[in-house]
């Protein structure tokens, strides 16, 4: 049986990592515990097992924050005590073999979860999926939590922003643009410089792309302003493109290393 690795096996684990690693749950305090009985209606082919949602304050970290975990399709739930502190010694996960079906095929293993008791609550159960739902500051400072989670990465390649008139006879798809945006004045393509040159498209400047490495919501407030403001303080322009999963910053190619250093310094220690 393979070992349960929270970074790999917890859905959306990137949301709650501590500088790229699974956070330390030693002495974490359990703030809220919600158990939903699920929804099982065989006549409608609905088979949703009990769901447990828990919020922890990770008190042992240098810069504590709160995480919310959701455990799906739970069974064999066992709980002892619940008080004003509910400190756990650790949070443990382990895959558990369930044998085979009637055809001899292995069943999906369950996940054995244990809140090892320090003071207050002790909880053990099995589930089939673990999901990271949220991360926030103890004081509600969501932006600070996001900034402390940044893992900026300099993407290979030089890029150009090219304005393409409607009349320009170019097969845009063949150029494999990294991004495109249609304005009233025409189409803008973000292209690898070599593709722009091959197509005879003009551009003013050459940029490098830095991915922020944070799974951020498109509704998140303040992240773009904070990043652009920090770069501006070092005299570095920032052209931001928000994709579904991550934000990407295009900076002048000759300042890319400086920009990466500035963004890497973001976080509680900045």
Q: pLDDT tens, 139-177?
A: 555 666 677 778 899 999 999 999 987 776 677 788 899
Domain count, the chain: 2
Q: Among residues 111, 140, 169, which one ends one of the domains? A: 140
For residue 18, the Cα-to-chain-centroid distance in whole angstroms is 11
Same domain flag for 202 and 89: no
For residue 197, what is the DSSP state?
A: H
Range of the domain at 188: 153-264
Q: What is the pLDDT of residue 220?
A: 63
Give Cα separations from 106 to 72, 96, 112, 125 (angstroms): 20, 12, 17, 21
User: Is the pLDDT reported for residue 210 higher than 70?
Assistant: yes
pTM above 0.85, yes or no: no
Q: Do 125 and 77 meet the contact criterion of CB atoms below 8 Å apart?
A: yes
CA–CA distance, 210 with 39 (Å, rounded to integer): 44
Which pLDDT tens digit goes with each residue over 245-263?
Answer: 888 999 999 999 999 998 8
Q: Among residues 115, 140, 165, which one ends one of the domains? A: 140
Query: What's phi and psi for 232, nearest 5 deg?
Result: -60, -35
Same domain flag for 161 and 182: yes
Q: Which of 241, 76, 247, 46 is nearest to 152 (CA)?
A: 247
User: Is the pLDDT reported for residue 187 higher than 60?
Assistant: yes
Q: Among residues 78, 106, 140, which one ends one of the domains? A: 140
User: Is the pLDDT reported for residue 73 higher than 80?
Assistant: yes
Element (H, E) at 89: strand 87-96
Domain presence at residue 269: no
Same domain flag for 161 and 245: yes
CA–CA distance, 202 with 180 (Å, rounded to integer): 16
Domain presence at residue 23: yes
Domain presence at residue 253: yes
Domain presence at residue 165: yes
Mean pLDDT of the chain: 88
| CATH for 192 | 3.30.2130.10
């Amino acid at each position: 049986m393979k070992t349960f690795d929270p970074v790999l096996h917890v859905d959306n684990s990137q949301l709650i990592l501590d500088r790229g690693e699974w956070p330390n749950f030693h002495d974490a305090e359990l703030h809220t515990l919600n158990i939903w009985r699920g929804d099982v209606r065989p006549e409608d082919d609905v088979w949703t097992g009990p769901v447990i949602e828990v919020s922890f304050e990770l008190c042992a970290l240098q810069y504590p924050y709160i995480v919310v975990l959701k455990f799906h399709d739970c069974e064999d739930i066992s709980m002892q005590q619940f008080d004003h502190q509910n400190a756990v010694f650790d949070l443990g996960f382990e895959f558990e073999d369930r044998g085979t079906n009637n055809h001899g095929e292995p069943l999906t293993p369950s996940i054995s979860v244990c809140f090892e008791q320090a003071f207050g609550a002790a909880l053990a159960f099995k589930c089939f999926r673990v999901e990271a739902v949220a991360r926030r500051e103890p004081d509600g400072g969501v932006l600070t939590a996001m900034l402390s989670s940044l893992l900026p990465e300099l993407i290979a390649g030089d890029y150009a922003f090219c304005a393409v008139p409607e009349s320009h006879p170019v097969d845009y798809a063949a150029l494999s643009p990294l991004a495109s945006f249609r304005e009233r004045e025409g189409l803008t393509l973000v292209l690898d410089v070599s593709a722009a040159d091959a197509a005879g498209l003009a551009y003013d400047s050459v940029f490098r792309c830095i991915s922020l490495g944070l799974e951020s919501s498109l509704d998140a407030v303040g992240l773009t302003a904070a990043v652009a403001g920090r770069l501006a303080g070092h005299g570095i322009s920032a052209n931001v493109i928000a994709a579904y999963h991550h934000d990407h910053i295009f900076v002048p190619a000759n300042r890319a290393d400086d920009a990466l250093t500035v963004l890497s310094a973001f976080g509680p220690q900045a």
